[in-house]
Chain A
Amino acid sequence: MNERIEYLKEKMLGEERYASIEQARIITRVYQENEDRSTARKRALSLKAALEEMEIVIDPMERIVGNRTKGVRAGVVFPESGCSWVNREFEDLPTRPQDRFQVRQEDIREFRESIYPYWQNRSMEEKIRREYGKEIQAISRVVKINQTDHAQGHICPDVELWLKKGPALIRQEAKSRIYLSEGSEREFYECMVLTLDGAITFMHRYANLADRMSADHPECSENLKEIAHCCRGLAHRPAQSFREALQSLWFLFVILHMESNASSFSPGRMDQYLISYYRNDIRSGALDEEEALELMECLWLKFNQIVYLRNRGSAKYFAGFPIGFNIAVGGVDSEGNDTCNEISFLCLKAQEELGLPQPNLSVRLNRNTSHELMQKAIAVVAKGSGMPQFFNDEAIIHSMMEDLGVSERDARNYAIVGCVELTSSGNCLGWSDAAMFNLCKALELALNHGVDEITGERLCEDYGGLDTCASFEELEKVFLKIVDFYIDEMMKAEEKVEKAHQECLPSAFLSAVVHDCMEKGLDVTKGGAHYNFSGIQMIQIANLADSLEAVRKLVFEEKEIDAGQLLDALRKDFRGYEVLQARLLNKAPKYGNDIREVDELGAKYAEYFRKRMKEYTNYRGGLVHTGMYTVSAHVPMGENVGASADGRNAGMPLADGGMSPSFGRDMNGPTAVLKSVSRLPDSLTTNGGLLNMKFLPEFFDTEEGREKFESFLRAFTDLRIPHIQFNVVRKEDLLNAKAHPDQYRSLTVRVAGYTAYFVELDGKIQDEIIERTSYDRI
């Protein structure tokens, strides 16, 4: 990291985060001035106005410019999607437990006086609440319906198209289509032109500002002149150099965020579409590797300047401002051959040096991934930022084709949106974060006659319970009835939510960079994309499998535990039943230990769920499918689940990740975990799966260790597991493990001659290991 980057990084991290109402003010005004126009036109006009009016700044040291607010990392209040939660929570933003923002008192006042009153009955959030709020609330303990107060996002635009054409040429195409169309189609193209006009103005404004500033900053005037030249050029023609490509890319993402204020627009396969710019500049001598890295790191900093303001509840589910600029490097090309290039390594290098939370860097692996890329990626993992995460071409491509009907070419070109959600590049609205289905809560209701174990409320019909089922098979039937009931309710709600998005949040600019919207003359929210999916997350396979297996084995097969007693124990959160709880924990096999029976038990119900999804078509006419990831939702979703038969106490977190075993239950090491996870069919995770693992830093200390890690990753590839990411165990983890051994039962450490479970070691030995596991060492 050179001086410029270091300076920019420190400055960015030092700046306070504020909630911003600037764009909300503009949007509200434009809506009020255009009351009689359609929502689509109001949306386009208000984006155009924001692009023309929002205050912009340039740091004379930065080489890539642009942001959607004056301050960096601001939380943007966005009234069209929803702001009644802002009204409720505005004052709490600086003090809430997760993802805090500073607020200005005058902003709160203005928001309450002139912004919020206008939107009270107009925002999408309000509309959904009015029309279907009660129903969504009624199922909320089992199903969390997402996207009810913000735009969907989670999309990988066609960046290549944007780089090759730029706003001016795309505008030209839209313009030419206006005269050949009529009605809503005609208006769609007109709106697109309006937003692209805004985009062009936006770029000119940066060019003009840079020009103006260069006189006041003689020490940076060369850089500012280059910025001016670059922005002005991009306003009317395609990108011509590596630097221009990066600047153009960044403008695209800033504008997408200004239009949608949504989580996750993905740059996708950056190494594939940037390589020609890079090689041309290197060949001509206009660029060297050092400068390319500096430019890349400037862009990397930009990815950290847009964060996402979520409501209090949502911040808990998605903690840490994840905004999901997901970049995927490596992977196969359209012919199926492995492809990685100088840009792949440049991306890894930038991540290695900066270690910031964004972008969300992903490496695509396949059987032919080069040793060099593997080793570089492993070196970055060793740094401990949790990145890059790894995706597996061998698991993903075939299931996209077989289960979703994606063409071979598109499947091979998959990218990642958000955290781990899968998408084709530039032509898909995956609606990947549609809902989270809490299978563990459904099981609780099945055991407990449809009654909430925590509150005692009846949540659904009494289909039976653990104490009335004569066999495990009977219990399975009750469980599936409950799952069925909630699936039906969930899909009804999904339709309402998608409909509200179409009505409230048509997105003309986004549609300009997603195929086939332009060709079809159809907005992306209305089904304009080539692929239209909806993704439901199944939560959480580990707890579900472990609980069912404990009931099957200990209650029905071995009759060690009486059904009535178990129910009573669960209702009492094991108070007075500590021995029974210990039995549940220790005397029934657990998912994640390479034990076929229990692994397949979890998969069986997930497969049932996946099959049920095939019966539905979403509101855009596309397929509904499933994923297995939670981000941080395993914590709040666990709060809502009573004591479970896997021995877990009421309210404790569920297993993390999505495909990971429960905390501390994987006692046979990392290879057994991969074997267990590999028993989940790929079709369950076409929307994305998430597997978390922890390794000790000493593992990465030696070349031998890194070689073994590569073997591990290659086996991961062969086992066709869709995803894996690694955390490096830190000193604090070990201190925690010493204090809370029950949560770290499976943590193993190398005790010189052998490997042992950390929590079973003597305190003195633990201290010695803690001492030697210094994170700073790597």
Chain B
Amino acid sequence: MTGSETALVFDIKRFAVHDGAGIRTTVFFKGCPLRCRWCQNPEGLEESQRPVFFQSRCIHCGSCLKVADPEQEKWENNGPVWNFKWRGDWNRAVHACPTGALAMDSRRYTVSELMEKIREDRVFFRENGGVTFSGGEPLLQNAFLTAVLKQCRKEGIHTAVETSLSVSSEAVRNTVPYLDQIFADFKLFDGDQHRKHTGMDNTQITENIRFLLESDHRDAVTVRTPLIPGITADYDNIQKIAHMISSLYPEVKYELLNYNTLAPAKYPMTGKTYPLMDTLARFSEKEMDRFYQAASDGGVRNTVREEKASV
């Protein structure tokens, strides 16, 4: 590790209050090996810098048209229509846009630049807040992440990661010693189903889960299953996952994430279409009870459940 590594980051969200304990800064890395059909951060999938277009910011001034390649942009109904597949230089059009409606989805950071961003909210982290690395798949840019994690440890900044675990076991082994909290997805127990809905099977994932839950760091791990109607939200799937992880470590923490109905929101700006139906609904408390029952039936003792409003 030379410190000269860089990484593409598509968002740094300060005052992230739903990604772990305390007040946190969440860093979203570009690039993900999976293609989950329910992904809520479509701009995080590709590993390269890509353009995004925020329709609501466009004032239809036509400044972009003056510099854009004809392959890149068409003007229809008093507004630009972008060809996001165009692989030329997007910077000219981005620079010409006065509102920021057209922008690049990410920027490149060195380790020290990213550390500087993380330190900005140091005073808010207090005892339990800190930084969360998310994505995309944060473990993919492993050398970079490890360097950042080491520096955070040195400065006493609490670290967490949200990972699909769909990365090499070496990547997991490198980072784990410097992580205070690990949120690890386990989406589908069945390998074929996993391949069908995420584009890859789960061999690597199960291997990494096994490693984590047998390691000294297992108390830092929370396994999570996002509940996707008709796909992962299935008694059998949850029970099997629960059974596997609790056999590895009876005290394992397991959380079920209710379906996010707003997942399609970010698709228009990337020029992509949400692969699932956009009419899917969240599960009721009663349905959630049943899924948690599946987790208990599978042998998990420590289920994690979002706190309900107490007032």
Q: List residues of A whose CB falls within 8 A of some B CB.
A: 379, 382, 578-580, 582-583, 585-587, 594, 668-672, 674-675, 698-705, 708, 711-712, 714-715, 718-719, 741, 750-756, 759-762, 765, 768, 777-778
CB distance from B46 to the nearest CB of A (A): 18
Minimum Cβ distance to chain B for residue A647 (Å): 10
Given contacts A702-B310, A711-B129, A753-B262, contact A671 B121 (CB under 8 A): yes
Closest A residue by C-beta to B55: A760
Residues A765 and B98 in contact in the complex (CB < 8 Å), given A699-B17, A702-B310, A712-B124: no
CA distance A1 to B236 in the complex (A): 52
B26 → chain A closest CB, angstroms = 9
| Cα–Cα, bound, A759→B263 (Å) | 17
Contact among A379, A670, A754, A761 with B15 in the assembled complex (CB-CB below 8 Å): A670
Which of B23, B59, B310 is within 8 Å of A582, CB to CB? Answer: B59
Most buried by A among B40, B41, B99: B99
Q: How far is the CA of A582 from the CA of B63 in the complex (A)?
A: 11
Specify which of A671, A699, A751, A765 lies most central, judged by the most chain B CB atoms within 10 Å of its CB.
A671
Chain A nearest CB from B227 CB (Å) reads 12
Cβ contacts B1-30/A at 8 Å (1 or 0 each): 000000000000111111000110000000
Could you tell me if A768 and B14 are in contact, using CB atoms closer than 8 angstroms?
no
Instruction: Tell me how many residue pairs across A and B have CB atoms closer than 8 Å.
Output: 106
Which residue of B has the minimal Cβ distance to A777? B309
| From A582, A583, A668, A760, contact of B54 by CB (8 A) | A760
Is B110 close to A, CB under 8 A? no
In the complex, which of the residues A715, A768, A778 has the most CB atoms of chain B within 10 Å of its own CB atom? A715
Residues of A within 8 A of B310 (CB): 701-703
Q: Which residues of B contact A (CB under 8 A)?
A: 13-18, 22-23, 40-41, 54, 56-57, 59, 61, 63, 98-100, 120-121, 123-124, 126, 129, 260-263, 265, 268, 307-311
* Contact yes or no, A752 B260, CB < 8 A: yes
Q: Is the CB of B98 within 8 A of A703?
A: no
CB atoms of B61 and A751 under 8 A apart: no
Query: Which residue in A671, A715, A741, A751 is a CB contact (below 8 Å) of B265?
Result: A751
**Chain A residues within an 8 Å CB radius of B18:** 750, 755
CB<8 Å pairs between A and B, sample of 19:
A382-B311, A579-B61, A582-B59, A582-B61, A668-B14, A669-B13, A670-B15, A671-B14, A672-B120, A701-B310, A702-B307, A703-B310, A711-B22, A712-B124, A715-B126, A752-B40, A753-B263, A760-B56, A768-B261
Given known pairs A582-B98, A759-B56, the reply for A669 and B265 (CB within 8 Å) is no
Other A-B pairs, 18, CB within 8 Å; known A668-B14, A759-B56, A768-B261: A580-B98, A582-B59, A583-B98, A586-B100, A669-B15, A671-B23, A701-B309, A702-B308, A705-B17, A708-B23, A711-B22, A711-B23, A715-B123, A715-B126, A753-B263, A762-B265, A762-B268, A765-B262
Question: Which chain B residue shows the least CB distance to A710?
Answer: B126
Most buried by B among A670, A718, A753, A759: A753
Q: How far is the CA of A718 from the CA of B13 in the complex (A)?
A: 22
Q: Summarize A's interface: helix, strand, loop or mixed.
A: helix
Inter-chain CA distance A587–B99, complex, in Å, is: 8
**CA–CA, A670 and B124, complex, Å:** 11
Which of A379, A675, A753, A755 has a CB less than 8 Å from the CB of B120?
A: A675
| Distance A582 CA – B96 CA, assembled complex (angstroms) | 11
Bound together, the chains give a CA A583 to CA B101 distance in angstroms of: 12
Q: Which of A578, A580, A671, A701 contacts B124 (CB 8 A)?
A: A671
Cα–Cα, bound, A604→B123 (Å): 24
Is A755 within 8 A of B13, CB to CB?
yes
Q: Give complex CA distance A752, B282 in Å.
A: 11
Contact A672 B308, beta carbon cutoff 8 Å: no
Which residue on B lies nearest to A587, using beta carbons? B98
- Are the CB atoms of A741 and B15 closer together than 8 Å? no
**Structural contact, A715 and B124, CB atoms closer than 8 A:** yes
Taking a contact as CB atoms under 8 Å apart, the answer to whether A703 and B307 are in contact is yes
Are the CB atoms of A579 and B17 closer together than 8 Å?
Answer: no
Within the complex, the shortest CB–CB distance from A370 to chain B, in Å, comes to: 16
Residues of A within 8 A of B22 (CB): 708, 711
Q: Which B residues lie within 8 Å of A718 (CB)?
A: 123
* Beta-carbon contact of B13 and A586 below 8 Å: no
Q: Which chain B residue shows the least CB distance to A675?
A: B120
Provide the residues of chain A in CB contact with B121, threshold 8 Å: 671, 675
Chain A residues with CB under 8 A of B120: 594, 671-672, 675
Question: What B residues does A756 contact at CB under 8 A?
Answer: 265
Residue of A nearest to B123 (CB): A715
Closest residue of chain A to B60 (Cβ to Cβ) is: A578
Closest Cβ of chain B to A15, distance in Å, is 33
Q: Nearest A residue to B269 by beta-carbon distance?
A: A760
Across-interface contacts of A705 in B (CB, < 8 A): 17
Q: Are A711 and B126 in contact (CB under 8 A)?
A: yes
A594 — nearest CB in chain B belongs to which residue? B120
A719 neighbours in B (Cβ, 8 Å): 123
Cα(A751)–Cα(B14), bound, Å: 15
Q: Complex: how many Å from CA A680 to CA B16?
A: 25
Task: Please give the distance in Å from B202's CB to the nearest CB on chain A.
Answer: 21
CB pair A671 B15 closer than 8 Å = yes
Distance in angstroms from B300 CB to nearest chain A CB is: 22
B210 nearest CB across to chain A (Å): 27
Q: Which residues of B contact A669 (CB under 8 A)?
A: 13-15
Q: How far is the CB of A723 from chain B (nearest CB, A)?
A: 17
Q: Are B13 and A754 in contact (CB under 8 A)?
A: yes
Alpha-carbon distance A669/B15, docked complex (angstroms):
7
A754 and B126 within 8 A (CB): no
Q: How far is the CB of B215 from chain A (nearest CB, A)?
A: 28
- Within the complex, the shortest CB–CB distance from A10 to chain B, in Å, comes to 25
Whether the Cβ atoms of B17 and A708 lie closer than 8 Å is yes
Min distance, Cβ B159 to any Cβ of chain A, angstroms: 17
Query: How long is the Cα–Cα vector from A570 to B100 in the complex, in angstroms?
Result: 22
Q: How far is the CA of A251 from the CA of B274 in the complex (A)?
A: 68
Decide: A712 near B23, CB < 8 A? Known: A752-B262, A765-B262.
yes
* Shortest beta-carbon distance from B269 to chain A in Å: 8
B114 to chain A, nearest CB (A): 15
Pairwise interchain contact A752-B261, C-beta atoms closer than 8 A:
yes
Give Cα A751 to B266, complex, Å: 11
Q: Are A753 and B40 in contact (CB under 8 A)?
A: yes
Q: How far is the CB of B123 from chain A (nearest CB, A)?
A: 5
- The residue of chain B having its C-beta at the shortest distance from the C-beta of A668 within the complex is B14
Whether the pair B56, A741 counts as a contact (CB closer than 8 A) is yes
Instruction: Please report the C-alpha to C-alpha distance between residue A582 and residue B97 in the assembled complex, in whole angstroms.
Output: 9
Chain B residues with CB under 8 A of A765:
262, 265
Q: How far is the CA of A414 from the CA of B18 in the complex (A)?
A: 38
